[in-house]
Homo-oligomer: A and B are copies of this chain.
Amino acid sequence: MEDTPPSETAAPKGTVTQRAIERIKAMIGDGLLEPGQRLPTERDLAAQLGISRSSMREAIRALTVLGVLEARHGSGIYVTQLSAGDLLETFGVVADLSRGTRLVELLEVRRILESTAAALAAARITPEQLALVEGHLAAMNATDDPEEILAHDLAFHRAIASAAGNETMAAILEGVSSRTFRARVWRGYQEEGAFARTRREHAAIHRALLARDPEAARAAAAAHVGEVEQWLRAQVNT
């Protein structure tokens, strides 16, 4: 059932701030504002849309956290490059605030995407990208500092995702693997002496990439994430 819109001259949908957000989003969507371009000042924008500067600032702040705009103190407001990384940065918030079952679901999504990314990377990876992967693999095995291991672990997977040639997928994986997310899950996982297993699994992924074997890479990556996933699933069901 639908209720017919009473009037169409003025669409008083929601708050003025919400309308301002939509207006600016529409300007960018319609190409009136190009990536990297500087917007009018807050005061001018507010005047243009007929709202107060306070409301306009809220709209700008909203678009800032969404990765659409970037405010530089003393300089002006700019449209971001609207890259996948810019717009998907907020994805990390989801991971940060997720608990229990949702963490398992996120890991399942990661397993699906990461295994495919590994398969694509096996077919496309360049020698330079492969060297980067090997560098993080070696660094990961050369230390016992959990913090450092985690950092190189993240970089290891990021390099593979990047080599898959899909920036959007890489950005999503980046969010799902956000630092706080992994730190929370891995804290418990690694306490059970899973370091050796993790290193074996990483080595297996690397071997598959080296052999340029997509299916082997897919299987190795799926198994790697799946291990953590199963462990976490057991934890949640406790």
Residues of A that sit less than 8 Å from B by CB? 17, 21, 25, 28-29, 54, 57-58, 61-62, 64-66, 68, 82, 84, 87-88, 90-91, 93-94, 96-98, 102, 105-106, 108-109, 112-113, 116, 166-169, 172
Contact A94 B105 (CB under 8 A): no
Q: Which residues of B contact A106 (CB under 8 A)?
A: 168
Listed from nearest, the 6 A-B pairs whose CB atoms lie closest are A105-B168, A58-B61, A62-B65, A87-B94, A105-B166, A112-B116
Q: Which residues of B contact A88 (CB under 8 A)?
A: 94
> What's the Cα separation between A188 and B97 when bound, in Å?
39
> What's the Cα separation between A91 and B22 when bound, in Å?
15
> What's the Cα separation between A60 and B97 when bound, in Å?
16
Contact status of A25 and B57, CB under 8 A, knowing A169-B105, A169-B109: no
How distant is A237 from chain B, measured CB to nearest CB, in Å?
15
Contact B25 A96 (CB under 8 A): yes
> What's the Cα separation between A172 and B109 when bound, in Å?
9
> What's the Cα separation between A168 and B108 when bound, in Å?
9
Contact B65 A21 (CB under 8 A): yes
Give the interface SS of chain A, mostly helix, strand, loop or mixed. Answer: helix
How distant is A2 from chain B, measured CB to nearest CB, in Å?
11
Q: Which residues of B contact A62 (CB under 8 A)?
A: 61-62, 64-65
Contact A61 B28 (CB under 8 A): no
Contact B168 A29 (CB under 8 A): no
With both beta carbons as reference points, the residue of chain B lying nearest to A83 in the complex is identified as B102
Question: A87-B97, A108-B168 known; 16 other A-B pairs, CB under 8 Å?
Answer: A25-B96, A29-B97, A54-B57, A66-B90, A68-B93, A82-B98, A84-B102, A90-B90, A91-B91, A102-B167, A105-B169, A106-B168, A109-B113, A109-B168, A112-B112, A113-B113
> What's the Cα separation between A201 and B166 when bound, in Å?
26
How distant is A183 from chain B, measured CB to nearest CB, in Å?
12
With both beta carbons as reference points, the residue of chain B lying nearest to A115 in the complex is identified as B112
> What's the Cα separation between A28 and B96 when bound, in Å?
10
